[in-house]
């Protein structure tokens, strides 16, 4: 599915709807250039799953867990690979372990960096900047009920 949003708030609210279709074990890979809205989208997912605290990009760590107090998804992992250098890196990051957590949903910014380790089942989200506040968002979720 595909949508055009005209503000960060619209992107968050779209992500909130997407969150209702997620199940434990799902992995979302978020593609898009700097400022496209990957983190903003994850903020919306977190809100939609019931996480009440602030969400911002992990800066000094690669991944941050958000504990969800309601529903069957226990944790939302926010993984940001922007600073990951070299593909050899992933083995020491602990990311693989997070992706195996069956009670969690994992989100990955800059998934290109670990493309060959990404599970095939990962749900691709593409964000494209069309204007100052205009974004095109494509989610490869065929059977979602929005
Ligand atoms: N339609 C939109 N969707 C998402 N973000 C938007 C939109 N319009 C403006 N923005 C702004 O663009 C920036 C996106 O930043 P961020 O989500 O951190 O991007 P990324 O994680 O992809 O680098 C934010 O400052 C946000 O407020
Ligand atoms: Mg980001």
Domain interval for residue 135: 2-139
On whether residue 133 sits in a domain, the answer given is: yes
C-alpha 83: how far from chain center = 16
pLDDT in tens, 29-49: 999 999 999 999 999 999 999
Which residue's CA is the closest to the ligand 1 atom numbered 16? 37
The number of distinct structural domains making up the chain is 1
CATH number of the domain that residue 100 is part of: 3.40.50.300
Handedness of CA 54, 131, 35, 105 (dihedral sign): positive
Residue 145 pLDDT greater than 60, yes or no = no
On whether residue 145 sits in a domain, the answer given is: no
On whether residue 89 sits in a domain, the answer given is: yes
**Which residues place a Cβ less than 5 A from the ion ligand 2?**
38-39, 57, 109
pTM for this prediction: 0.95
Pairing of strands 27-31, 104-109: parallel
On whether residue 146 sits in a domain, the answer given is: no
Ligand 2 midpoint to CA 145 (Å): 27
Give yes or no for residue 8 CB within 6 A of ligand 1: yes
Contact 64, 77 (CB under 8 A): yes
On whether residue 144 sits in a domain, the answer given is: no
pLDDT in tens, 61-103: 789 999 999 999 999 999 999 988 776 667 777 888 999 999 9
């Amino acid at each position: 599915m595909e949508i055009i949003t005209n503000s960060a708030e619209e992107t968050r609210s779209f992500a909130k709807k997407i969150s209702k279709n997620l199940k434990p074990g799902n992995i979302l890979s978020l593609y898009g250039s700097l400022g496209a809205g990957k983190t903003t989208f994850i903020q919306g997912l977190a809100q939609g799953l019931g996480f009440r605290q602030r969400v911002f990009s992990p800066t000094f760590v690669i991944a941050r867990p958000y504990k969800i107090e309601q529903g069957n998804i226990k944790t939302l992992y926010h993984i940001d690979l922007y600073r990951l250098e070299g593909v050899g890196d992933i083995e020491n990051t602990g990311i693989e372990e997070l992706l195996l957590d069956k009670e969690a949903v994992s989100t990955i910014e800059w998934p290109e960096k670990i493309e060959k380790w990404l599970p095939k089942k990962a749900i691709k989200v593409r964000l494209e900047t069309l204007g100052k506040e205009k974004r095109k968002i494509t989610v490869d979720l065929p059977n979602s009920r929005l």
